[in-house]
Amino acid sequence: QVQLQESGPGLVKPSQTLSLTCTVSGGSISSGSYYWSWIRQPAGKGLEWIGRIHTSGSTNYNPSLKSRVTISTDTSKNQFSLRLSSVTDADMAVYYCARSVRPGGYDWFVDSWGQGTLVTVSS
């Protein structure tokens, strides 16, 4: 059973860069065919997909965030990371890391989630 755990600063100043890491246990992020994703949820709002990185290294980002987002992997540590630059109040949210799979005949879906980490944007 794969497990994911987010880590990183819970407080980021406006205009600075938010950096979070997701540590994966119970499976290798570099084997198989998976997408490793970041999803967030601002208080009182719905879930928002931020972006994803495939086992092969290819990435996809939410167009609304694309100019500020970078997702990367560190296979030596079995981790993947999120960097979101120039943060504002609108970036304050609970950030989840997640793994998605695509069984034969179906589209990708998330089968494992981290517990989530709250990021506050404040000076």
Binding site for other proteins (CB under 8 A): 37, 39, 45-49, 51-52, 60-63, 96, 103, 105-111, 113-116
Q: How far is the CB of 16 from other proteins (least distance, A)?
A: 25
User: What angle is formed at CA 79 by the lines to CA 74 and CA 84, rounded to 5 degrees?
Assistant: 85
Give the burial class of 117: count Cβ atoms within 10 A of its Cβ; 0-12 exposed, 13-18 middle, 19 or more buried: buried
- Residue 19 CB, nearest distance to other proteins (Å)? 21
Q: Which is nearer to other proteins, 2 or 16 (CB)?
A: 2
Q: Closer to other proteins by CB, 76 or 104: give it.
A: 104
Nearer to other proteins, 92 or 101 (CB): 101
Least distance between other proteins and beta carbon 23 (Å):
15
Q: In angstroms, rounded to a whole number, what is the distance separating the alpha carbons of residues 81 and 14?
A: 20
**Least separation in angstroms between CB 95 and other proteins:** 11
**Cβ(81)–Cβ(71) under 8 Å?**
yes
Q: Which of 99, 104, 106, 90 is nearest to 26 (CA)?
A: 99
